[in-house]
Structure 1
Amino acid sequence: MAKGYWIGRVDVHNDEGYTAYAAANPAIFKKFGGRYVVRGGKHEGVEGQSRARNVVIEFADYETALACYRSPEYQANIKVRRPHSIADLIIVEGYDGPQP
């Protein structure tokens, strides 16, 4: 079964206000079996528009990734994040087929 992923790109304009959002996320992700694959780190925007922070979170499957996003805990945490940042987030099903 293919895994599910959150792919997020974030520009934070108030680090102090954003801290509470970031601090609450690990417990939420743990409840749904999520794990960070990418969290910050060096990056280079080679095409299109990039943002200052990038994150990829892996879940057991696409449905679990959606359930985490739609959970009351994460929905409440979005309200903490929004005043302090601009974010793009997609939830995508991983690829589990043949490789080149």
Structure 2
Amino acid sequence: MAKGYWMVSVDVTDPEAYKGYVAANAVAFRKYGARFLVRGGPAERVEGSLRARLVVIEFQDYATALACYRSPEYQQALALRRDASIADLVIVEGYDGPQPTD
């Protein structure tokens, strides 16, 4: 079964308040088995546009990724994030099909 992912591009506008969001989102992420694949770090835009911070979070499947976002636990954290950042967030199903070969 294909995994589910949150792909997030975010500009933090209030770093102190954002710390509250990070602490609060851990409750939902722990409950839904989230695993960070990308969490900030250096990035180089080579095409298009993006925000200052990139985050990719992996879930066991697409349904779990959606359930986490819609959960009361994450919605509480989200209320904190909205006051501390501007973000674009997409939830997407991973790909489990054939890959290019050499």
Aligned residues: 100
Corresponding residue for residue 67 of structure 1: 67
Give the secondary structure class of the aligned counterpart of 1:50.
coil
1:78 aligns with 2:83: no
Give the secondary structure class of the aligned counterpart of 2:83.
helix
RMSD between aligned residues: 0.8
Q: Which runs of 5+ in 2 are unaligned?
A: none
After the TM superposition, list the runs of 4 or more consecutive aligned residues in structure 1 that deviate by more than 3 angstroms: none
Give the secondary structure class of the aligned counterpart of 1:56.
strand
1:19 aligns with 2:24: no
1:29 aligns with 2:1: no
The structural deviation recorded for 1:46 is: 1.1
Q: Give the TM-score of the pair, scaled to structure 2.
A: 0.94
Q: Per-residue displacement from partner, 1:22-56 (whole Å, max 9, x unpaired)?
A: 11222311110110000011101111111111100
Q: Per-residue displacement from partner, 1:64-88 (whole Å, max 9, x unpaired)?
A: 0000000001111111111111000
- Does structure 1 retain, via aligned residues, the 8 Å contact 2:38–2:54? yes
Corresponding residue for residue 94 of structure 2: 94
Q: Which runs of 5+ in 1 are unaligned?
A: none
Q: Percent identity?
A: 66
